[in-house]
Amino acid sequence: MPIPSPTRKTIPRVLTKCLSAATGSPDLGLSDDPVAWAQKALNFIADPKQAEILSCAASRVIVVTSRQVGKSTIAALRALYLALRHAGSLILMIGPVGSQAGEILGKATHFAAELGLPIRGDGINERSLQLPNGSRLIARPAVPQSLRGYSQARLIIVDEAAYVPEATYRAMSPILATGDGSLWVISTPNGPSGRFAELWHDLTNGWTRFSIPAEECPRLSPTFLAAERRLYGDIYCAQEYSCQFIAAGLQLLTRAQITAAIITKPAEVPFQLREKTRIYLGLDLGKRQDHTAIVALELRWRFGPKDNVTQGIAQYPTLLLSYSTRLPLDTETTRIPQLVRDTLQRYSPTYGEPPRIDKLLVDATGIGHTIVELIRKNQPKAHVQPVTLTNGHVERQLKDNYLSLPRPDLINRLKMVFELGNIQLLDSAPGFVDIERELVQFKPSGDQQEHDDLVIALSMAVWQAAKDYPDLLRAAA
* DSSP 8-state secondary structure symbol assigned to residue 228: H
Cα gap 175→172, rounded to integer Å: 5
- Which of 350, 298, 355, 286 has its CA nearest to residue 324? 298
List the domain boundaries for the chain. Answer: 10-240, 259-473
Q: What's the confidence (pLDDT) of residue 231?
A: 79
Q: Do residues 207 and 199 touch, judged by C-beta distance below 8 A?
A: yes
Cα gap 104→120, rounded to integer Å: 16
Count the neighbouring beta carbons within 10 Å of the beta carbon of residue 310: 7
Cα gap 240→234, rounded to integer Å: 10
Q: What's the confidence (pLDDT) of residue 37?
A: 92
Q: Name 340's Cβ contacts closer than 8 Å, sequence gap at least 6.
A: 281, 283, 294, 360, 375, 378, 379, 382
Q: Do residues 425 and 432 touch, judged by C-beta distance below 8 A?
A: yes
Instruction: Please say whether the structural domain 259-473 has been given the CATH code 3.90.420.10.
Output: no
CA 388 to chain centre: 31
Q: Note the helical H segments in 60-149.
A: 71-85, 98-114
**Per-10-residue mean pLDDT for the chain, 477 residues long?**
40 43 44 89 89 92 89 92 92 79 88 91 90 92 81 90 86 80 90 83 90 87 87 77 74 84 91 88 83 92 80 87 91 85 85 76 78 78 83 78 85 89 94 91 73 91 92 78
Report CA-CA distances (Å) from 419 to 193, 201, 254, 476: 19, 20, 10, 11
Cα gap 183→239, rounded to integer Å: 24
Q: What's the confidence (pLDDT) of residue 275?
A: 86
Q: Do residues 283 and 360 touch, judged by C-beta distance below 8 A?
A: yes
**CATH of the domain spanning 10-240:** 3.40.50.300
Beta partners for 70?
Answer: none
